[in-house]
A and B are shown apart, each in its own frame.
Chain A
Amino acid sequence: MLYDINLRITYTYEAPVSGGRHVVRVLPLSLPDRQRLVAGTVTCTPAPEERRDSVDFFANPSTSILFRKQHEKLVIRMQARVQLEQQALAADFSPDLTRFPTEIANVWSLDANSPHHFLGASPRLPEDAAISAYARDIAKPGMTIRQIATALCAEIHKDFAYDPKATTVDTTPREAFKLKRGVCQDFTHVMITALRSLGIPAGYVSGFLRTIPPPGKERLEGADAMHAWVRVWCGTTTGWLELDPTNNIFAGLDHIVVGHGRDYSDVAPVIGVLKSYGSHKTEQAVDVIPLQ
């Protein structure tokens, strides 16, 4: 599957800002047998005084930009062409919870995909007793890791209402869990917290989701959005699997990966520190255009 993806993030500042430094993570990844970035660029208006493109710890492309001059508006634009490969879902070879800790302990590695990074609490995801209890209820003895993960994904999808008004980008998983409402980020954070409480390594995937228009309707421009889902480490044989609790499906040809991290804080599209005296407004427009 081949896509052209356009993303535009616009910041409008109430009062002019006198400078700012941002880290931008919006460019899709290249992942063996999963997706290939054919071409991609990140541009900013106004043009930054300094810019550096690099790859972070979790192998995500990231761009640091610095503005010294006053500006009232900042537009970050990303354009990319991405080739996605169909993922065949193999038979379930993942172990159950009793054998799992030994299997994890036997991974003597700290590279970006090592399960060890995704087990403990992370900046946005402290341990949470209520979510742990919820997870313990769902994980029955004898279930494999993959079964637990798919069951959790289904339960969250069933128990939570999709409601963009209920939460913000700063909502904690504890609050979202109490509300049983939220958006992809909340669903993903709750599911990661639940998996980790059982000792299952789980991470945050940020990306784009292609939306399929209703039959007979044209695809609406800008109607797509940035998306988030979960990846779960299911043992040495299976490795990482991607599950989307917002839609209760395995991530597939509609899920374009931008970043891997422990939680949102590792992959936020824009992290910024700026000097300003007012609030700001953010707008995001995404187009995921299938080419074949």
Chain B
Amino acid sequence: MSKKQTAEAMHSENRIGGDPVFGYRALPGIADEMLDTHGNVRPVWQHFLASIGRMDETELSNRFARADRYLRDAGVFYRAYGTKENSERSWPLSHVPVLIDDVEWQAVSKGLIQRAELLERMAADIYGPNRLVAEGFLPPSLVAGNPEFLRPMVGVLPADGHFLHFCSFEIGRGPDGNWWVLSDRTEAPSGAGFALENRVATTRAFSDLYAETHVRRLAGFFGAFRDELQSRKKHPDDRIAVLTPGVANETYFEHAYIARYLGFMLLEGEDLTVVDGRVMVRTVAGLKPVGVLWRRLDAAFADPLELNQSSHIGTPGIVEALRSGSVSIVNSLGSGILETRAFLAFMPTICRHLLGEDPVLPSIATWWCGQQPERDQVAGNIEKMVIGPAYSTRPFFDDNGRSVLGSSLRDTAKVSVAEWLQTDGPKLVGQEVVTLSTTPAWINGKLTPRPMSLRVYVARTRDGWQVMPGGFARIGSGADAAAIAMQAGGSAADVWIVSQKPVEHTTLLPAEESFIRIMPGSLPSRAADNLFWLGRYIERAEGALRILRAWHGRFAETANTEMPLLKDITDYLAVLDIDTKQPVPDSLMANLNSALFSASNIRDRFSADGWLALNDLAKTARKFQSTVQAGDDATHAMTVLLRKLAGFAGLVHENMYRFTGWRFLSIGRYLERGLHMTRLLGHMSGEDAPDGAYDMLLEIGDSVMTHRRRYNVNTAALTVTDLLALDPLNPRSILYQLNEIKTEVEQLPNAFSNGQMSPFYREAMKLHAGLAVMTPEAMSAEVYANLERELGRFSDILAQTYLG
């Protein structure tokens, strides 16, 4: 920091007392991140504060809007539990970052690394020789009665010898200015991806300040961890995957984000199977080995055979695979036990015993009430305590109200608290209530102190444990620390670790000399299934939209639903469960929702733009559902929806890499479009077709102009059939779809084996050839019905061959 800047900041601070930035005051008796105990701005904040002090309200809100827009466009969300409607919430960013001096951070890092090592040793003991219990350092009941203690994992040594690879910690600053560990997260720590997104969003708001300040970068941390996981593979052919509980999980977005960011597969338990003690992923090219699993799934759910028997999201046999040492899992199954709140009471002693040193960072003072002296201690100081469940794995301010403040028990007689501790003691812990530090948040147009805690990350790398230089700060929605939890309205801020010296700039792009072109890995069958169905649903929606638009166009002219053509189409649509009485039918909505669901299952393969376009389409359709009237209004609405749908299709077409996933999506679309046209022609092109049917067919098939140009006659059965069924150059004709399907199938894995066509490829050839030799005269209702059956069968064979 230059002298000039410092002077400027000091000068500004004394400038105006009621200024929205400089009127900031710390709360009495509480530490503050920006102000020291004398009320002076900490040096690390001075430049930042002076800079935003120069910005007027419009500029600041423009900057904040840039950050919010980034998060919106990137589709960053988390899922709130317990609410049915709109359960996807946009990420609540607190725009002002928390700035911490790198020198101070080094000291914190030292403590976190020591703690990660301690937890590793504890895990090795609990799932190994159990000396901590035998020698009296850890009460046996806290292990045996712990739901996180997974007995089948006892005696299973991890493939690479380590139980922990990726941990996170919740830390807070106490009134004396020192940092405390509030809780340990070792099971499947979440949020590292959100830390990245926070960073990107915040730098959108303060790109200039970020460039001027020596903020340490995050990419190096992720790169080192990625390299570590790569090095854990035993065979070069092994895959690395992020194992997610699925799209319904609170932080699924982050799983997909991390997988995409690091270039790992995103898999669910169902994608995996265990063969000869090896974990394999089902792909469209057969079973492929998985060497490393970064687990975001709670351990108990990983294996319904040996762990939680009611789990539907696990992989039977995975525990067996771990025993055989063929797969590394991050973190080991059962490591969640280290998060137990009551363990905090024993960790200082265990630290001295196992590591021979005092803890560098203290944990929040904790007493397990399973022992009399501790019970007395808690009961005697009840005013300063918070009482909570001993086995809880969450910090007290974020455990859904299961912890109670001792001071709230004031009205209860002291005896009854003592009695409560006596009866339920082993299930309870008392913790000293800590007052968390505050940090500035921009609230109602001014900087306001809000309580905060930091979520920080530690990863095992080739050079030992490494601490992410940053993380994210959880900011309370009110002055009360209990409101930090995001589910309770809290928000998150980026954390800038500011160095005196310029920082190293790393990106996760490889250096040029190490450039190799890697083809994308095998496509998991489930992802292929979702892509195939996404294609089908989208095309099904388009088919319905086109027919409905034509229907409403004619209805607008006649207002007579009994007109033969309209009646005929109404009956046709009724079979497809589409009700023309509803301007935007429920079944159309259902199709769009199914498309959205399929897409949400494969977020890691999707550009944010495609996702937003699809969401926008569904949202618009939902809005139309309650506003649009039959006739002209509906015609217009269908046109809008078709345009949005084309927008989505265009994004996919222009931007998606032409590999296996793309082929399944395309086959889905071609197949559905072929089915749509086959059904429609079968229904409408017979001799008893109502008046106007041919014109309508051409309109639905988007071929009015082409017909006029090519045939130079009025619409008639043969020309329409020729154009819509048999013309190989019309992108709406049936033959065109079959040709495209054939081309795509030829490129799929295992289309040929030993120079022979696979049975599936042969089916695709047969379908195409069968129609290619037809003449318009021969296209009878029976031929169409037959073709419809064949297409259905083709879909089944595809599923059996690739999606099972």
Contacts and interface: CB of A to CB of B under 8 A. Distances in A.
A117 B144 contact: yes
B174 interface: no
B427 to A, nearest CB: 9
A277 interface: no
Interface stretch (A49-57, A70-78, A153-161): A49-57
B141 A119 contact: yes
A8 to B, nearest CB: 22
B306 A23 contact: yes
Nearest to B153: A57
Interface in B84-137: 130, 133-136
B763 to A, nearest CB: 22
B143 interface: yes
A176 B308 CA distance: 23
Interface in A39-56: 50, 52, 56
A108 B320 contact: no
Nearest to B425: A101
A108 B140 contact: yes
Is the interface on chain B under 10, 10 to 19, 20 to 34, or 35 or more residues?
A: 20 to 34
A16 interface: no
A120 interface: yes
A130 to B, nearest CB: 19
A67 to B, nearest CB: 12
Contacts of B276: 50
B305 A116 contact: no
Residue among A116, A119, A265 with the highest chain B CB neighbour number at 10 A: A116
A108 B134 contact: yes
A1 interface: no
B134 A105 contact: no
Interface string B353-382: 000000000000000001000000000000
A273 interface: yes
B309 A265 contact: yes
B305 A108 contact: no
Main secondary structure of the interface of A (DSSP, over half): mixed
A150 B681 CA distance: 80
B490 interface: no
A44 B140 CA distance: 39
A172 interface: no
Contact of A57 (B136, B154, B304, B316): B154
Interface in A10-56: 21-23, 50, 52, 56
B304 A116 contact: no
Contacts of A66: 274, 317
A186 to B, nearest CB: 19
B759 interface: no
Interface in A268-283: 271-273
A109 interface: yes
A110 interface: yes
Nearest to A21: B316
A21 B141 contact: no
Given A57-B151, A108-B136, A110-B133, A21 B144 contact: no
Interface in B474-522: none
A100 to B, nearest CB: 13
Contact of A110 (B135, B144, B320): B144
B145 A110 contact: no
Interface in A56-74: 56-58, 64, 66
A185 to B, nearest CB: 15
A119 B320 contact: no
Contacts of B317: 21, 64, 66
Contact of A120 (B130, B144, B308, B309): B144
Nearest to B154: A57
Contacts of A58: 151
Contacts of B304: 273
B140 A114 contact: yes
B20 interface: no
B526 to A, nearest CB: 14
Nearest to B145: A120
A110 B316 contact: no
B189 interface: no
A216 interface: no
A223 interface: no
A119 B144 contact: yes
Given A52-B320, A66-B317, A116-B145, A271 B134 contact: no
A107 interface: yes
A66 B273 CA distance: 11
Interface string B255-290: 000000000000000000011100000000000000
Contact of B316 (A116, A117, A119, A273): A273
B22 to A, nearest CB: 56
A108 B133 contact: yes
Contacts of B133: 108-110
A119 B145 contact: yes
Contacts of B316: 21, 273
Interface in B127-166: 130, 133-136, 139-141, 143-145, 151-152, 154
Contacts of A21: 274, 305, 316-317
Contacts of B320: 52, 64
B143 A110 contact: yes
Contacts of A272: 305
Contacts of A109: 130, 133-134, 140
A284 B124 CA distance: 42
Contacts of B130: 109-110
A106 to B, nearest CB: 10
Contacts of B154: 57
Given A21-B317, A64-B320, A105 B141 contact: yes
Interface string A114-135: 1011011001000000000000
Interface of A: 21-23, 50, 52, 56-58, 64, 66, 104-105, 107-110, 114, 116-117, 119-120, 123, 265, 271-273
Interface of B: 130, 133-136, 139-141, 143-145, 151-152, 154, 274-276, 304-306, 308-309, 316-317, 320, 370
19 contacts: A21-B274, A23-B305, A23-B306, A50-B275, A57-B152, A57-B154, A66-B274, A108-B133, A108-B134, A109-B130, A109-B133, A110-B144, A116-B141, A116-B144, A117-B144, A119-B145, A123-B308, A272-B305, A273-B305
Among all A-B residue pairs, the 4 with the closest Cβ atoms: A116-B144, A120-B145, A57-B151, A273-B316
Given A64-B320, A110-B130, A272-B305, 16 more contacts: A23-B306, A50-B275, A52-B320, A56-B152, A57-B154, A66-B317, A104-B141, A107-B140, A109-B133, A110-B133, A110-B140, A116-B140, A116-B144, A116-B145, A119-B145, A123-B308
